[in-house]
Chain A
Amino acid sequence: MKTASDLKIGEKAIIKDIDNSHFSSHRILEIGFTPGQEIQLVSSPLFNDPIALMIRGSIIAIRKSDARCIII
């Protein structure tokens, strides 16, 4: 199963689902990571964590452990 944490820099994907069992899933949905939306990994600085994802015209920094509940 591929998640947003597996994206490479510049790579785009469409969100398939959000994993409900993750404690951050609610916040992630609220800020606009909903199924069907396109995301793109725009930067991945030192340590490759947290990563910066583009969603709905905004850039969100998110830890890989949180991004793991975004299924693509």
Chain B
Amino acid sequence: MSSQTLNKIPLISLVGPPNSGKTTLFNYLSGKKFKTVNYPGSTVEYSISKILSKHAVNADILDSPGIISLIPSSPDEQLSVNTLYSHPKFGKPDIVAVTVDVSQLSRHLYLVKQLLESNFKVVVVLTMTDVLYKKGFDISENKLSSILNCKVVRVNGKTGKGIDSLLTVLKESLNEIEKDSAASLIKADKHHKTKLLESYSEIEKIEKEVLFETDQKSTNGKIDIQKINESIVVLNSAPKFLKADETSLKIDKFILHKFWGLIIFFLIMALTFTSIFWLAAPLMDLVNDGFSFLSENAFTLLGEGLIADLIANGLISGLGSVLVFLPQILILFLILGLLEDSGYLARGAMLIDKPLSKIGLNGKSFVPLLSGFACAIPAMMATRTITNKRERFLTIFIIPLMSCSARLPVYALLIAFLIPQETPWIGGLLLAAIYVFSITSSIIIAAIVNKFSNRLVKEKDNTSFILELPAYRMPKPMRVIQETIKNGKQYVVKAGPVILFLSLLIWILTTFPNYDPVVPVSPDVSPEQTEILKSNERMSTSYAAYLGKFIEPVMAPLGLDWRVGVSLIATFAAREVFVSSMALIFKITEEGDDMQNSILNSMREAKIGDSDQKLFTTATTAGLIVFFVFALQCLSTVAIAKKETGSWRIPVLQVVVFTALAYVFAFVTVNGLRAFGVN
């Protein structure tokens, strides 16, 4: 294999059905130093890492989305199967380690059989043996190994027991490869039904051979004769002797109850969103205050001047606008991770499948749409689990309407302007109202687009929903926290530089070319007033002002002027720039006040042009909020939509439709409010 000779370090691919403990195993082997794009719900990209040096196996290990068989039915499975047969960079794997949940042995052995038939060098890793034990059974890995003619290891995901023997086996297998020449791979083709049934009947025979009853069921005091009888009967009539997890079945009586199921669903959703607001808000304030403090101190330390201005207003407030939305992202991903780990997320998807199918979506759109409230980028990648192309594209289409965390600082500022300071709880209500409004609008828009979806994308009418409901279990806090931190880190690394760059760009545009303008000096003007005059003059002769005046005619119908126009242009690259660009444009560096309050004060004083007409009124501020609800202001989202849909069609349509909607609805809001006498 030419690809192998190029690649000196051997590659071990980790595959397995969803919920088979694959990622847990990967984390054991790789430590935490792996590159990946993960999100709660599943692995959507492959992750690659070297096996931890303490394990003394010199190999790369690759984790990819879970697969049920080698015949993919959705884009995420396609990715896994492709990486398995030939990874573009790493070639074909030297060893395929496949995880098998022994409590679902027969279903998971199907993939193992396919892999063996395709000539992969397979190492089987048995997981969830504790669950099997609880069901009253155990498995003989030696028997399984001799029947399948491949190596079999048992690993406990909770304690890590068995990892050592797995590593030994991997080492042995790697040595063997160096000796024998690798057999060429056979592509699995769409199995004929009879072939598939043959495979399964072979698997059922294997299952009977390797599984055996343990007598621990009787250890709880009395011997349950009936149960023993049952299992004997079951064993004799074979292949159905594994029952689903009893506890999960009991919990599902409530969670999937016709009435209570719905109540619980809404409660969980309500809790999720309120905790985002209530938990994130104080943390966001903390970030805000921290950066205001830094910015002020920069001036005290460096004195007034260009460098101080660059550091305080350009760099520090730019960084602040990157980090201010981090708490919300972390909290949402934390909750999503907990829901995923506990097994609820799949049930949520099931419960909402019917309503979503009415507007052309799928139950599997549920997780992507939820993630969209943190950030559209992982959300769009998460749509890869949706089998039907039309449903997937429609999900991608409406994801930007989900109120992502980048909008929160914007709403926070505008709401703070609208409501009296003494009654902050109104702000909470208003924010909730904005979320409800944006969800309702996206439902309506999805329903309308669904009517034209045949023109959006041609696809056979093969919509389906088949999803395994994993057994409930206590979420592993460490794992969830690890995943959350990983998500947060990636987000900062990905979005951070863009936002920081834009903040600096805006700083340059608003500071130059007239950095030190000449203002009339007279004895009755104090130095402070001279400073203010200078700063106003600098701003109104800046590059930003020239740019802004171009778009002033567009802004005028919304009751806004070029200054807001400049901020809005900047936000088309990334929304979160709005607050920092407002801060720059309305130049605020008042002592002893935090950034938000000083922006608010300048907003209250801002007038349109030379007139007496106030720039920010209730009507124009409400208009701005509505604008932000609809507008797709995020370059990264456009890029990922292009990548995920494979053409410019969807992203261009999104930008055009959502910008038009934003403008029209903002116009209606401003002028509607004015017509009712609200200014």
Report A11 CB to chain B, min CB distance, Å.
15
Given contacts A50-B363, A52-B469, contact A42 B252 (CB under 8 A): yes
Judged by a CB distance under 8 angstroms, whether B180 is at the interface is no
Closest to A42 in B: B249
A58→B128 CA distance, assembly (Å): 13
Q: Are B354 and A50 in contact (CB under 8 A)?
A: yes
- Interchain CB contact under 8 A, A56 and B464: no
The answer, among A28, A56, A61, for a CB contact under 8 Å with B346, is A61
* Beta-carbon contacts under 8 Å, B224-266 to A: 239-240, 242-244, 248-249, 252-253, 256-259, 261-262
Complex Cα distance, B190 from A24, in Å, reads 13
C-alpha spacing A49/B347, complex, angstroms? 12
Indicate whether A62 reaches chain B with its CB closer than 8 angstroms: yes
In the complex, the answer to whether B466 meets A45 with C-beta atoms within 8 Å is no
Kindly list chain A residues whose C-beta atoms are within 8 Å of the C-beta of B469.
52, 59-61
Residues of A contacting B462 with CB < 8 Å? 23-24
Give every chain A residue within 8 A of B141 (Cβ-Cβ): none
Q: Are the C-beta atoms of A27 and B240 separated by less than 8 Å?
A: no
Verify A58–B193 contact, CB threshold 8 A. no
Nearest neighbor of B346 in chain A, beta-carbon distance = A61
A23–B73 Cα distance when bound, in Å, is: 11
Contacts A43-B253, A50-B363, A52-B350: A27 and B466 contacting too (C-beta < 8 A)? yes
Residue of B whose beta carbon sits closest to that of A29? B196
Q: How far is the CB of B396 from chain A (nearest CB, A)?
A: 22
Residue interface bits A10-48, CB-to-B below 8 A is 1, else 0: 000000001010011111111110111110001111110
Flag whether A63 is at the interface (Cβ < 8 A).
yes
Whether B239 pairs with A36 at a CB distance below 8 angstroms is yes
Q: Which of B190, B197, B253 has the most CB of A within 10 A?
A: B197
Determine if B193 and A29 form an interchain contact, defined as CB atoms under 8 angstroms apart.
yes
Closest to A30 in B: B69
Knowing A56-B106, A58-B107, A59-B252, the reply to whether A42 touches B464 (Cβ < 8 A) is no
Please indicate the chain A residues that have their CB under 8 angstroms from the CB of B465 in the complex. 50, 61-63, 66
Q: A18-B193, A34-B197, A52-B350 are in contact. Are A57 and B242 (CB under 8 A)?
A: yes
B467: CB under 8 A from chain A? yes
Within the complex, what minimum Cβ distance (angstroms) separates A51 from chain B?
9
Which of A24, A28, A32, A43 counts the most B-chain CB atoms under 10 A from its CB? A43
Check if B630 is an interface residue, CB within 8 A of chain A.
no
A42 to B69, CA, bound (A): 25
How many A-B Cβ pairs are below 8 Å? 132
| A61 and B242 contact, CB distance less than 8 A | no
Query: Would A35 and B197 be within 8 Å (CB), given that A46-B258, A58-B107, A61-B350 are in contact?
Result: yes
Q: How close is A14's CB to chain B, nearest CB, in angstroms?
A: 9
Counting CB contacts under 8 A, is A71 at the interface?
no
Complex interface: chain A residues within 8 A of B69 (CB): 30
**CB-contact partner of A46 in B73, B193, B197, B261, under 8 A:** B261
The answer, yes or no, to whether B68 is at the interface (CB within 8 Å) is: yes
- Find the residue from B243, B462, B464, B466 having the highest chain A CB count within 10 A: B466
A7 within 8 Å of B by Cβ? Answer: no
Q: How far is the CA of A27 from the CA of B346 in the complex (A)?
A: 18
CB interface residues, B 255-289, toward A, < 8 Å: 256-259, 261-262
Minimal Cβ-Cβ distance residue in B for A24:
B464
Cα A20 to Cα B191 with chains together (Å): 12
* Contact status A60-B110, CB under 8 Å: no
For B240, give its contact among A24, A46, A56 (CB under 8 Å): A56
CB distance from A25 to the nearest CB of B (A): 8
- Whether A45 and B256, one on each chain, are in contact in the complex, defined by CB atoms closer than 8 angstroms, is yes
**In the complex, per-residue mask of B331-368: 1 if CB is within 8 Å of any chain A CB, else 0:** 00000000000000011011101110100000100000
CB atoms of A23 and B257 under 8 A apart: no
Bound: A25/B73 CA distance, A: 12
Given A24-B466, A45-B257, A60-B467, answer yes or no on A50-B350 (Cβ-Cβ < 8 Å): yes
- Other contacts beyond A32-B110, A56-B107, A61-B467: 7, CB < 8 A: A27-B68, A27-B466, A45-B351, A52-B256, A54-B249, A58-B104, A60-B466
Q: Which 7 pairs, one residue from A and one from B, show the smallest C-beta to C-beta distance?
A: A57-B242, A43-B256, A61-B350, A23-B462, A47-B354, A32-B107, A59-B469
Residues of chain A whose beta carbon lies under 8 Å from any beta carbon of chain B: 18, 20, 23-32, 34-38, 42-47, 49-50, 52, 54-63, 65-66
